[in-house]
């Protein structure tokens, strides 16, 4: 049980620092992954960037993830075949939702980064961070987007996730670092004492602070 995302980030930072990653760059999944990733980037002396992905919810049951859309041209889409079979839908049935999520991603990029470019990941150790994993659809899309950008190594790092999800992600990342794999899992927020929604203003402030720190160290 973590007190909040910041505490989880501090714990994750120590676990990752012990691995001494070469030429690290930290990439957070907004919004909840950013306050976890910020302490990691500071501890490793690494740039902090974002990986933009949006969940594709089941119509009428938006919290149930049928898949996810990742930043790209064209957008990267990942679907959960078990959920699709359960609801009797096909990937092509989600075309309008995919287009809408791609528009949301473009808007978020402008809002959070204000025109700042993505950190360079080619040939570096890219560390992908979120506040936890539930179904994994969002993280899968993020990893596919990232792999196409040519990092030397991908490390997926989260404070908490189901053991099954950790095993599944091991095939998509070069290494998975997960601090806790509780059973039963229930939900990501159940393993934090304080788990409010991360606001846009906090994301912008954390990214700006990281950019200023990097500029000062350059």
Q: What is the pLDDT of residue 65?
A: 83
Q: Looking at the 3D structure of the chain, how many domains does it have?
A: 1
Residue 139 pLDDT greater than 70, yes or no: yes
- Supply the CATH number for residue 117's domain: 3.40.50.2020
Q: Given pLDDT bands bounded at 50, 70 and 90, which one contains residue 117?
A: confident
Q: Which two tokens stand for residue 21?
A: 């990653």
Q: What is the pLDDT of residue 218?
A: 56
Which range marks the domain in which residue 122 is found?
A: 5-217
Give the predicted TM-score (pTM) of the model: 0.88
Residue-wise pLDDT for 82-108, tens only, equals 899 999 999 999 999 999 999 999 999
| Residues making up the chain, counted from first to last | 218
**Lowest pLDDT segment from 38-47, 75-84, 155-164, 196-205:** 75-84
Q: What is the pLDDT of residue 173?
A: 96
CA dist 40 and 97 (Å) reads: 33
Q: What is the pLDDT of residue 127?
A: 98
Residue 72 pLDDT greater than 90, yes or no: no
Q: How far does CA 39 lie from the centroid of its chain? A: 15
Q: Given pLDDT bands bounded at 50, 70 and 90, which one contains residue 78?
A: confident
Residue 158, H or E segment: strand 153-160
């Amino acid at each position: 049980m973590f007190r909040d995302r910041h505490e989880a980030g501090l714990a994750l930072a120590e676990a990752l620092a012990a691995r001494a990653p070469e030429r690290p760059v930290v990439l957070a999944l907004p919004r909840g992954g950013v306050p976890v990733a910020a302490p990691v980037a500071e501890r490793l002396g690494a740039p902090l960037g974002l990986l933009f992905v949006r969940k594709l919810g089941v119509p009428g049951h938006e919290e149930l993830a049928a898949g996810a859309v990742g930043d790209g041209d064209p957008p990267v889409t990942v679907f959960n075949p078990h959920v699709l079979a359960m609801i009797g839908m096909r990937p092509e049935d989600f075309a309008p939702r995919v287009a809408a999520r791609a528009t949301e991603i473009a808007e978020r990029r402008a809002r959070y980064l204000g025109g700042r470019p993505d950190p360079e990941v080619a040939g570096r150790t890219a560390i992908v961070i979120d506040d936890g994993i539930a179904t994994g659809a969002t993280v899968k899309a993020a990893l596919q987007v990232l792999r196409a950008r040519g990092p030397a190594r991908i490390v997926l790092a989260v404070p908490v996730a189901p053991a099954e999800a950790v095993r599944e992600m091991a095939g998509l990342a070069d290494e998975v670092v997960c601090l806790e794999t509780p059973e039963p899992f229930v939900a990501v927020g159940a393993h934090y004492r304080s788990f409010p929604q991360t606001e846009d203003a906090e994301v912008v402030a954390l990214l700006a602070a990281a950019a200023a720190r990097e500029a000062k160290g350059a």
